[in-house]
Structure 1
Amino acid sequence: MRGEAWTGDDREHNDACHERWLRALNRSTDQPGYRDGWFDEQCGGCRFWVALSGEMGRDWGVCTRSDSAFDGRARFEHDGCELFALRTDGSFG
């Protein structure tokens, strides 16, 4: 695809990224010790989470909180961290 802009809409590539990136979750609802309070503090509802474009943006975004350990890293919308900051407009993803 030399000379063509990458659109990110390659199902095989996206599925492989999704599976690979899931291994870096900070929190998972199926892990022992997952607290109920974390359900409302997921990355997709944080004001510092910016969705990726294309198909990947349905589930993935980038953390932009400078004091977070995840700043500048792709994050699953259902992951979370202790620095969650609720969006003032109540949106998610």
Structure 2
Amino acid sequence: MVSGGPWTGDDRGHNNEVHERWLRILNRPTRAPDYRDEWFDEQCGGCRFWIGLSGELGRDWGACTHAGSTFDGRVRFEHDGCASFTVREDGSFG
């Protein structure tokens, strides 16, 4: 980290710890017995209202911006999802 300027989040150790900590609080982990097959096509990373974080954490994490979602304003794992999923018009992911 460079002193005197804003922290950019480019600390691999910190980012790895954040990634592991956030993974433990997933809404719908794919290994859960009640995870439905159709949810594989309705993951946050493909939702119109998911905005990826910048930097290294942005490869897997973003914020939900869907006013109708229970996760609005929360950081979400790109492979998680919710009942308010809205497909992106361009079909992109992440």
TM-score between both structures, scaled by the size of structure 1: 0.94
Shift of 1:83: 0.4
Task: Name stretches of at least 5 consecutive residues in structure 1 with no aligned partner.
Answer: none
Match of 1:25 in 2: 26
Map 1:22-61 to 2 at 5 A.
22-61=23-62
Aligned length: 93
Q: Distance in 2 between matches of 1:2 and 1:77?
A: 32
Q: Distance in 1 between matches of 2:70 and 2:3?
A: 35
Percent identical among aligned pairs is 70
Aligned residue identity for 2:51: V
Shift of 1:3: 2.9
Map 1:1-93 to 2 at 5 A.
2-93=3-94
CA RMSD of aligned residues (A): 1.0
Shift of 1:24: 1.6
